[in-house]
Each structure stands twice: as C-alpha cells, then as structure tokens.
Amino acid sequence: MAMLQPQHHHLFLLRHRPPPPRLRLRLPTRPSSPHRLLPRARAVSAAASTAALEDFRRWLSSHGAGEGKALPAAVPEGLGLVAARDLPRGEVVAEVPKKLWMDFDAVAASDIGRACGGGGGLRPWVAVALLLLREVARGADSPWAPYLAILPRQTDSTIFWSEEELLEIQGTQLLSTTIGVKDYVQSEFESVEAEIINANKDLFPGTITFDDFLWAFGILRSRVFPELRGDKLALIPFADLVNHSPDITSEGSSWEIKGKGLFGREAMFSLRTPVDVKSGEQYDLDKSNAELALDYGFIESNPYRDSYTVTLGISESDPFYGDKLDIAELNGLGETAYFDVVLDEPLPPQMLTYLRLLCIGGTDAFILEALFRNSVWGHLELPLSPDNEESICQVMRDACKSALGAYHTTTQEDEELLETENLQSRLKIAIGVRAGEKKVLQQIDDIFKQREEELDGLEYYQERRLKDLGLVGDNGEIIFWET
C-alpha cells in the first residue's frame, strides 16, 4: 500500500509508472546485467568553438531568426542567451521560423519520412531523434549543420553515468528512475534499429549505436520546451539555449507560437523575457526540480527543490477492494495515487484522506457501505478511529524506515562530504540528491511519529457523530435529558 517512488513525473517522453504492491516498499537495487548501463554516448561534435558559434550566428541571421536583442554566447553552463542591451520584462528577444525547427513535420518532409511513410508509425520523439542522428551523419551537407555543431557532447545527466557513478545514488528514487528511462530508450532503440536503421542503410550508412540514440534522447529531454509534447515536440535552435535560473519563479509562459509573414501563414516561435534582464546578463527560464538531475545534470541546494514521491495503492487482495476503489474514483483518485512531499512543506492535500481509506478494516468497515458513499470522503478528511489512525502512522513510519535503510550513507556523512573542496560534479549531484531525499523521508517519519503521540487527543468519527446528534457536549461529556 505504501511505496516511495521517483518524483520525475513530468517526464515528457516517459510517463509509465508501475502499480505498487500493498504495504510493500519497492527499493532500487544495485545495477545488474539486465540493466547494464552502457558507456557514455559517443561525442558527435567538438565543444562549441568561437568559429562554430560565429557560424551559428550567421546561420540564424540568414534565416531571419533572432532580433539582435539576445545573442548566443559562452556562459558558465556552456552556451546561453546573453542580452545585447537592457531588456524589460515581456520583450521579445528571439523569433525562430518554423523552417529551422527539428520537429515531426521536418521528419515527414525528410528522407526518413519518405522511407517510413511520413513517420506516422513512430513516436514523435523517436522520429525527431532519428532525424537528429541522420542530420549529424550528413555533416556539412545538413541544413542544420551550424546548429548541430554547437550541441553539447555530453552532460552530467544521470542517464550518461557509469555503473560506478550510479552506485553513489544507491537507494535513491533517482537511480530507479534512471534505470527505467534507460530501459525504455533501449527498448525503443531495438525496435527502430531492426525496422528502420538497418533497413535503410542509405540513410544511415554508418553504425548507429544505442549510445548514439541515447545521446539524441538526452538532447531532446534537455532542450525541448516542456509544453511542446507529443506531436508538437520540437527542437527550436537558438531558443533552446535558454538555461535554468533559480531566481525566476514565474509560472507564466515566456514564449508563444504565432503566425508571421503574408496572411500570418509562417509559424514563428517567439521568446520573451520573464523578468527584466540587464545588458550582458544571461536570459534564463525556470525549470522544475523534477527535471534537473535526470534531464540537465545539476541540482540546487534550495530546500524547496528536495522532494520525495509517496506512492499509495489499493491492493487487489483487500476484502474491500471494490468499495475502496469506487470511493477513490468518485473523488478523483484511483487504485494508485502519487503524492509529492516537499521539504519543509505540509503533506499534500488528500494524502491523509487516501491513507485512511486504504487502512479501513474491522469495525470501521461500516463506513464503506453504500449509505455513506457520497459522504465518506468528507468523513475521512478527519480521523476515523484510533485503530485506523494508528495504522496509517505505522504504515508510513515502516515505509520511511525501510527507505532510509537502503542508503549507504547517513545524512550527516553526506553533509560532511558536501563540505569537501573540489568535489567532482557528478559526485556532488549524487550526494545532494540522496541527502535531500533522506531529509524528506525523515520529515515524513517525524510527522507520523508526532501524530502517534497525539492519538489520544484526537477527535474521531463516533465522537463527532454523537456531537452532531446532541448526545455529547463540546468537552466530551454525555448529555442527559430530564422529563
């Protein structure tokens, strides 16, 4: 019933999460041969040189991209957009015409699209990944050559970590997520390798390996705007140089796709400043914590970036499975529910309510009867009975204890390691991730430990019911009537 699962949860290429067994905590295990993590993706270009950057700028200009307000430039993260002058909030800093996008339409118009019937049988991200690899193979003959030349050779994303490096995140949700993503990409690669790559050697004359395919996947995950999913998935050269900033917290969109040219028929990707930007400063966008380590290869130390996903599920072996599932679905949940717990924040809404539902049994089962079907959720928002409330505390504390026992270091050891000078970047990510997870797990345990200590002072359903009937006073005293 209680499982603690990965947070990455806004994966735009991977959304599958397997259902959990009742009262069982699924822990990531040491990588074994079925999940063998292959070497880092083969480099497809040298680090962007000054000459390559100038070629890229000229290429953009020749195709009418950009407005001269922000320029691609070297920044600490690698490449980014730097303001050419002071820019007020909401000003357009870049416009990229659709003819420069690498998207599903570009695939359909390419040799790959013609070989695959327009690419309609492929997942959009797979189709764009194949286009990316095909254009890389074409070298200087590719119309995107100047753009491809500045793409990063590699990142610190965990999908590119070695087995030894992954051991540093032993016990974390990030490890199980990373392995799951790599398995998914491997499966997709094996399919397209047999059906497309090997069947079209004229399009892919060289050897395309899993590492190459994984590199393309990593490029898409780190550079595609999150809202551009499914058939809309697209690499937008120039605009994709926007980096992450912890100082930008606006949730409003900073871009739009609009029509331009005669009758507005030419689609244009328009990028705006989310905040005021000074000349010479980098133009950034805020991106979710769920993406950072897996997609971009970095993390932040801000407490609100530390989170842990609790997965709760109704077991099919539960004698009241049907009733509980019906109640959950009537209230917008299901057989499995995911709750992201954030450091220093209260438990997510409905988490306690769902837990109480899962732990109903014995004499409390009366509340599952059809008579209560429309009101039961409201009753469960408050403590049901001492036994039920004690059960949810035990379930969560046992799960936290099991999860904390899977890490090979303590929180104190991690904090001491983080004080070490000149830490290798991937080790720093690993320590930060596992330390953050442990802090949240300890917070969850503390919440339910405190609740255990307060059980005798809580007001339960029967007492509330008697008060509603006027049979018990506000202080719990029984009320008698005299004739």
Instruction: Return the higher-pLDDT residue of 31 and 336.
Output: 336
- For residue 407, the 8-state DSSP code is -
Say whether both 239 and 343 belong to one domain.
no
Say whether both 132 and 238 belong to one domain.
yes
Single out the catalytic residue among 147, 184, 283, 304: 283
Look at residue 133 in the predicted model and tell me its pLDDT: 95
Residue 335 pLDDT exceeds 60: yes
Query: Which residues are paired to 283 by β-bridges?
Result: 81
Could you tell me the end-to-end alpha-carbon distance of the chain, in angstroms, rounded to an integer?
Answer: 52
> Is 483 inside a domain boundary?
no
Say whether both 160 and 187 belong to one domain.
yes
Look at residue 222 in the predicted model and tell me its pLDDT: 87
CATH of residue 121's domain is 3.90.1410.10
Residue span of the structural domain in which 198 resides: 50-285
Estimate to the nearest angstrom the gap between the alpha carbon of 135 and the chain centroid.
28
SS3 at position 338:
strand
Question: Which tokens is 429 given?
Answer: 């990510």
> Is 17 inside a domain boundary?
no
Q: In what order do the strands lie in the sheet with 78-83?
A: 70-75, 78-83, 282-285, 243-244
> Is 265 inside a domain boundary?
yes
Say whether both 248 and 126 belong to one domain.
yes
Q: What is the DSSP string of 220-267?
A: HHHHS-TT--GGG-EE-TTGGG-EE-TT----S--EEEEEESGGG-EE
> Is 362 inside a domain boundary?
yes
Instruction: Return the higher-pLDDT residue of 31 and 368.
Output: 368
Residues 165-214 have pLDDT tens digits of 999 999 999 999 999 999 999 999 999 999 999 999 888 888 899 999 99
- Known binding-site residues equal 77-79, 223, 240, 243-244, 255, 283, 296
CATH of residue 392's domain is 3.90.1420.10
CA–CA dist 257, 293 (Å, integer): 29
Say whether both 244 and 311 belong to one domain.
no
Which alpha helices (H) appear in 274-385, and where do they start and end? 289-291, 321-330, 351-358, 376-380
Q: What is the DSSP string of 121-151?
A: TS-HHHHHHHHHHHHHHHGGGSTTHHHHTTS
Signed CA dihedral, 213, 216, 221, 227: sign only = negative
Instruction: Return the higher-pLDDT residue of 465 and 92.
Output: 465
Question: C-alpha distances in angstroms, 51 versus 12, 84, 149?
Answer: 34, 19, 10
Say whether both 281 and 307 belong to one domain.
no
SS3 at position 295:
helix
Say whether both 310 and 208 belong to one domain.
no
> Is 244 inside a domain boundary?
yes
Which amino acid is residue 131, in one-letter code? Answer: L
Say whether both 309 and 222 belong to one domain.
no
Look at residue 20 in the predicted model and tell me its pLDDT: 32
pLDDT band at 110 (very low <50, low <70, confident <90, very high): very high
Instruction: Return the higher-pLDDT residue of 287 and 360.
Output: 360
> Is 8 inside a domain boundary?
no
- Known binding-site residues for substrate equal 223, 240, 255, 283, 296
Question: Which tokens is 201 given?
Answer: 């050697």
Give Rg (Cα) of the chain.
27
Look at residue 205 in the predicted model and tell me its pLDDT: 82
Q: What is the DSSP string of 148-168?
A: HTTS-S----GGG--HHHHGG
Question: Which tokens is 340 given?
Answer: 């992201």
What's the structural domain count of the chain? Answer: 2
> Is 139 inside a domain boundary?
yes
Say whether both 139 and 180 belong to one domain.
yes
CA–CA dist 348, 350 (Å, integer): 6
Can you count the helices (H) and strands (E) in the chain?
16, 12
Look at residue 19 in the predicted model and tell me its pLDDT: 32
- Known binding-site residues for S-adenosyl-L-methionine equal 77-79, 223, 243-244
Residues 53-99 have pLDDT tens digits of 889 989 988 988 865 566 676 666 566 666 656 656 667 777 889 99
Question: Which tokens is 77 given?
Answer: 């993260």
Signed CA dihedral, 164, 76, 215, 242: sign only = positive
Question: Which tokens is 219 given?
Answer: 């490029």
Say whether both 411 and 448 belong to one domain.
yes
> Is 18 inside a domain boundary?
no
Is 308 among the residues known to form the active site?
no
Question: C-alpha distances in angstroms, 280 versus 84, 93, 274, 326, 429?
Answer: 6, 13, 16, 57, 29
Look at residue 403 in the predicted model and tell me its pLDDT: 95
Say whether both 270 and 382 belong to one domain.
no
SS3 at position 472:
strand
Say whether both 260 and 371 belong to one domain.
no
